[in-house]
Amino acid sequence: MSSPEPIFIARYAAGGLSTEDLVEYADRKLMEGAYSDYLVAILDETAKNWDAISPLFELAVRDLGYAMPSFEKAILQLVRHHLELIAAGEVDPLFELSVLWRDIKRFDLHKDVKHYVGDSIGVETLYGLYFAVDDLDDSKRDAGMQKIKSEIVAESERWLENH
């Protein structure tokens, strides 16, 4: 499993965080005993906007010993993180996929498609399973949901083996 720190940083690199998230991060890290002049600068910054806070966050990340992934690496890191949680049975598979789609919302799943949405990063089957819920017949909804969730777990395991 991925630790929380790199996942938070990957969410930043993937464009999934707000200025408020970065300010809360700085406050939390300082309260936990981590120190960086850049974390303090984030809290001291009077103009709490993206242009002021984002560069300080990137410097703080490096100062704390973490690497900033590229956008593409961040996307794959987030996919791996969520699929590991699903495969481990730690989360509701459908809910976790919704979190994954939110985390990678700035990634164009339709770009470089060969056959199906998401196939450029290997999530085409998961994407289809996630939206298959919409096609379930009301009379068989519970059984259908369980089958889809089982298939999501199996597909997550396959993705992890292959990527």
Residues 139, 82 share a domain? yes
Q: How far apart are CA 31 and CA 150, in angstroms?
A: 40
Q: Per 3-state DSSP, what percentage of the chain is helix, strand, and coil (rounded to 5)? A: 65, 0, 35
For the residues 102-128, what does the mean pLDDT come to?
A: 88
φ, ψ at 103 (rounded to 5°): -65, -30
Q: How far apart are CA 145 and CA 55, in angstroms?
A: 44
Q: What Rg do the C-alpha atoms of the chain give, in angstroms?
A: 18
Residues 87, 48 share a domain? no
Cβ-based neighbours of 86, under 8 Å, separated by 6 or more: 93, 96, 97, 152, 153, 156
For the residues 141-161, what does the mean pLDDT come to?
A: 93
Residues 158, 109 share a domain? yes
Residues 157, 84 share a domain? yes
pLDDT, mean over the chain:
92
Q: Domain end: 30, 64, 98, which one? A: 64
DSSP type of residue 106 = T
φ, ψ at 17 (rounded to 5°): -120, 160
Report the number of distinct structural domains present in the chain. Answer: 2
Residues 129, 80 share a domain? yes
Residues 10, 60 share a domain? yes
- How much of the chain exceeds pLDDT 70, in percent? 98
Buried b (16+ CB within 10 A) or exposed e, 6-45: bbbbbbbbbebbebeebbebbeebeeeeeebebbebbeee
Per-residue pLDDT, 52:
96
For the residues 130-146, what does the mean pLDDT come to?
A: 85
Residue 86 lies in domain? 71-162
Query: Is pLDDT at 3 greater than 70 in this prediction?
Result: no
Q: Domain end: 20, 37, 64, which one? A: 64
Per-residue pLDDT, 1:
43
Query: Is pLDDT at 118 greater than 90 in this prediction?
Result: no
Residues 81, 57 share a domain? no
Residue 110 half-sphere exposure, CB side, CA atoms within 13 Å? 0
Residues 158, 85 share a domain? yes
Residues 154, 91 share a domain? yes
The model's pTM: 0.90
For the residues 97-108, what does the mean pLDDT come to?
A: 93
Query: Is pLDDT at 27 greater than 70 in this prediction?
Result: yes
Token pair recorded at residue 68: 């900033």
pLDDT digits (tens, 9 = 90+) for 34-78: 999 999 999 999 999 999 999 999 999 999 999 999 999 999 999
